[in-house]
Amino acid sequence: MLEQVKTIAVDGPSASGKSSVSKGVAAELGFIYVDSGALYRGVTWQAIRKGADPQDAKAVVDAMHAADWHFFVQDGAAIFSIDGDVPVQELREKDVREAVADVAVIPEVRTFVVESLRTLKNFGSLVMEGRDIGSVVFPDSPYKFYLDADPEERAMRRYRELVAAGEDEKAHEVMESLKKRDQIDSTRKTDPLVVAPGAHKIDSTSMTLDEVIETIVGAVKGNS
């Protein structure tokens, strides 16, 4: 019998460890890793480079629809090009980081991203990290996980990441910006960050990365 395509949803707030965990789970299971936030960042990046004000929903949506998007798999991860360019580092830069939460609340942007994410199943089994993967993108998946950690721990993780990336950041500013992102992500009208029905909740505050990965891999294998 043909092996069925599986979708593993890993949701949770900023800096909850979703990326490292999802990459680890994908590597262990041989699935394709998908960073759904990268698409919201891609829409934001495209809007900015086309001179659209990220606060102007119509301008953002026009820039998004006018662009030529292509999705493909490279080194075990799903990535995309926009008008022939593949933004990677650009998506992490400050202008995108600061505007993306506003762009991600635009309903047309969410529709476009959710539909694009669903098409990635054509590439094979996926581990997709995000905020609404278990609740909106793949609500029927039996493999839904909600990763959380204490806000202080998440702020410290994000701070260490930024410092390692050479950013000149202050710990208390990272804490403030994380709180602001949590607030926007959990209170927005369209697809707020919620624990999807049936999701397996994992508090990673005092777990190692490997422990979290093994918890998910074990649950998926036990359920297959």
Q: Which is nearer to ligand DC, 17 or 52 (CB)?
A: 17
Stretch binding ligand DC (CB under 6 A), from 62-70, 130-138, 158-166, 210-218: 130-138
Strand bridging mode 77-82 / 69-74: antiparallel
Which residue's CB atom is positioned nearest to ligand DC? Answer: 37
Q: How far is the CB of 163 from ligand DC (least distance, A)?
A: 17
Q: Could you give the string, one character per residue 179-198, with x where binding to ligand DC holds by CB under 6 A and - elsewhere?
A: --x---x-------------
Which residues in 85-114 contact ligand DC (CB under 6 A)? 100-101, 104
User: Which token pair is 23?
Assistant: 């990459």
| Beta bridge pairs of residue 78 | 73
Q: Could you give the string, one character per residue 50-89, with x where binding to ligand DC holds by CB under 6 A and - elsewhere?
A: ----------------------------------------
Distance CA(2)–CA(20), nearest Å, equals: 30
Q: Is 174 in the site for ligand DC (CB under 6 A)?
A: no
Q: Which of 31, 33, 40, 159 is the binder for ligand DC (CB under 6 A)?
A: 40
Stretch binding ligand DC (CB under 6 A), from 54-62, 72-80, 127-135, 139-147: 127-135
Cα angle value 14/91/113 (rounded, 5°) = 75
Q: Which of 7, 22, 36, 46 is the binder for ligand DC (CB under 6 A)?
A: 36
CA dihedral 20, 22, 26, 32 (to 10 degrees): -110
User: Which token pair is 140?
Assistant: 């029927």
Distance CA(198)–CA(112), nearest Å, equals: 25
Residues that bind ligand DC (CB under 6 A): 14, 36-37, 40-41, 100-101, 104, 130-133, 181, 185
